[in-house]
Amino acid sequence: MDILEKRIYPRSGDKQTIYLKPVISNPNISIGDFTMYNDFVNDPLLFEKNNVLYHYPINKDKLMIGKFCSIACGAKFIFNSANHTLTSLSTYPFPIFFEEWELDRKDVANAWDNKGNIVIGNDVWIGYEAVIFAGVTIGDGAIIGTRAVVTKDVSPYTIVGGVPAKLIRKRFSENVINTLLEIKWWDWSREKISEKIHAIQTGEINQLL
């Protein structure tokens, strides 16, 4: 395995699991270090094509995913151009067919409501076939349940699930959550993370202070 392959495929013999950062080419998508994606249905290298949908350059909206996130097979990020505007008397996207209706091409984005970027924090786990909609921010440490449809912001270290996604529970006490958000272990050096991996895995938060 050459250096580039090792940066993409973190596990020897596993071509279903990749680090996303080195395979992203779209300048409107940013991925943090060590964030991984697993796909046992399609080629995970096609993440931009298969998982980031309606992400057209004309809208200039962004997908921003932090470090150490785990994204399960089939998770989808649905952007603004999938919307049909609700401010019109009709949901028909007349501006897209500007030639047919002799409209101004520069107004094509009026066909949909622009709700903004999708922002995913650090250490977020997005479950199998979950769907995240435009304008949503998911906080650090959150968990998105299998096939959840996320239409609203998710607080840090919160577990949500369902259609539409709703609060299931907080992962930790407020004191622990605040401590984790303060120390931001995902921003530590690789060496320090390696040194503290046991404490991270076993929940010994006092050893991280």
pLDDT above 90 for 43: yes
Looking at residue 209, what is its pLDDT? 85
Name the percent of the chain lying above pLDDT 90: 89
| Residue 198 annotated as catalytic | no
pLDDT above 90 for 6: no
Asked if residue 164 has a cis previous peptide bond (ω within 30° of 0), the answer is yes
pLDDT above 50 for 1: no
pLDDT above 70 for 3: no
pTM: 0.93
| pLDDT tens sequence across 53-62 | 999 998 899 9
Pick the catalytic residue from 84, 147, 170, 196.
84
Cβ-based neighbours of 193, under 8 Å, separated by 6 or more: 185, 186, 200
Distance CA 7, CA 24 (A): 13
Average confidence (pLDDT) over 23-35: 96
Domains belonging to the chain, first-starting first, are 3-86+113-171 (2.160.10.10), 173-209 (no CATH)
Distance CA 79, CA 62 (A): 9
pLDDT band at 5 (very low <50, low <70, confident <90, very high): low
| pLDDT tens sequence across 174-195 | 999 999 999 999 999 999 999 9
Distance CA 201, CA 193 (A): 11
- Report the range of poorest mean pLDDT among 28-32, 56-60, 132-136: 56-60
Strand arrangement of the beta sheet that strand 52-53 belongs to:
52-53, 76-78, 131-133, 149-150
- Residue 101 CB neighbours (<10 A): 9
Distance CA 32, CA 53 (A): 20
